[in-house]
């Protein structure tokens, strides 16, 4: 997440949601010339659990919401 500290990025608090029954805090990341993305972090573990962004569906010629969920996070040599 360190690159998000750059002056080109605007970070805003997003709504708190439930992901897999657990509280997750949201962060909206905006950058000029790019689509916004929401990052959701588990409120207890701080692990990234979900992302949301709008993407272009070329077959339908419209924007759709893409959601990605991150599960089964494991430690490898002490690092998640």
pLDDT tens string for the chain (80 positions)? 788 888 899 999 999 999 999 999 999 999 999 999 999 999 998 999 999 999 999 888 899 999 999 988 777 887 76
Query: What is the sign, positive or negative, of the torsion defined by CA atoms of 20, 17, 11, 47?
Result: negative
Q: Which two tokens stand for residue 80?
A: 């998640």
Tell how strand 37-42 and strand 22-31 pair up: antiparallel
| Token code pair at residue 71 | 């599960």
What gap in Å lies between CA 39 and CA 24, rounded to an integer? 9
Between CA 23 and CA 17 the distance in angstroms is 6
In this predicted structure, what is the pLDDT of residue 78? 79
Contacts 24+ apart (CB under 8 A), 29-36: 29/4, 32/8
Rg of the chain, C-alpha, whole Å = 14
pLDDT of residue 6: 86
């Amino acid at each position: 997440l360190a690159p998000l500290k750059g002056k080109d990025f605007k970070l805003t608090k997003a709504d708190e949601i439930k992901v897999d029954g657990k509280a997750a805090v949201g962060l909206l990341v905006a950058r000029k010339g790019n689509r916004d993305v929401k990052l959701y972090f588990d409120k207890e573990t701080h692990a990234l659990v979900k992302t949301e962004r709008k993407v272009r569906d070329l077959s339908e010629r419209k924007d759709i919401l893409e959601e990605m969920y991150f599960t089964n996070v494991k430690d490898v040599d002490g690092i998640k």
